Amino acid sequence: MDNPMKVLVVEPMKAPYEREISGSLASMQEVVGGDISATYPFDDPIALIHNDLGKLEGLPPNRLLYDDNGVPYDMVCGTFILAGLGDENFVSLTPEQSQKYQRHFGRHMILVIPKEPAKTKKKEKNCHER
């Protein structure tokens, strides 16, 4: 059963943004790029919905999750969405929740610098070297 809802989409290296989705399983899978899994890392009634195999599939690092002491304990890989929690379904975020988590995830990004393989140069011999 589709239940249109406003969610917050958080992509790697981008500011979070609001988006309306149909609320179907397929719509959530489309946003995260695969099978979904939900975690509940916040005190607010919010679900963090992510690609279940994001880490295993090597999706790009996105954001860190922090414990109550501000210590990172996990990393979300790939695009994820935040949705509110209803009695039995995911629901739209309230405007206050959307603003709060836009600020939160807008400040915390993981910077990824691609590593290029080291290039080897042939060492040219100087005429004085043997």
For 91-119, the pLDDT digits (tens) are 999 999 999 999 999 887 766 666 666 56
Is the residue at 32 inside a domain? Answer: yes
pLDDT of residue 119: 62
Confidence check: pLDDT of 126 > 60: no
Give me the domain span that covers residue 16: 5-107
d(CA 75, CA 55): 9
What is the C-alpha separation between 18 and 7, in angstroms, rounded? 6
Residue 114 resides in a domain: no
Hey, what amino acid is at 64?
A: L
In a domain, 115, yes or no: no
127 located within any domain = no
CB distance 110 to 69 below 8 Å: no
CA distance 105 to 62: 10
CA angle 90-107-18, nearest 5°? 35
Question: Does the residue 89 lie in any domain?
Answer: yes
Domain count, the chain: 1
Tell me, yes or no, whether 116 lies in a domain: no
Answer yes or no: pTM beyond 0.85: no
In a domain? residue 118: no
Reply yes or no on whether the pLDDT at 122 is more than 90. no
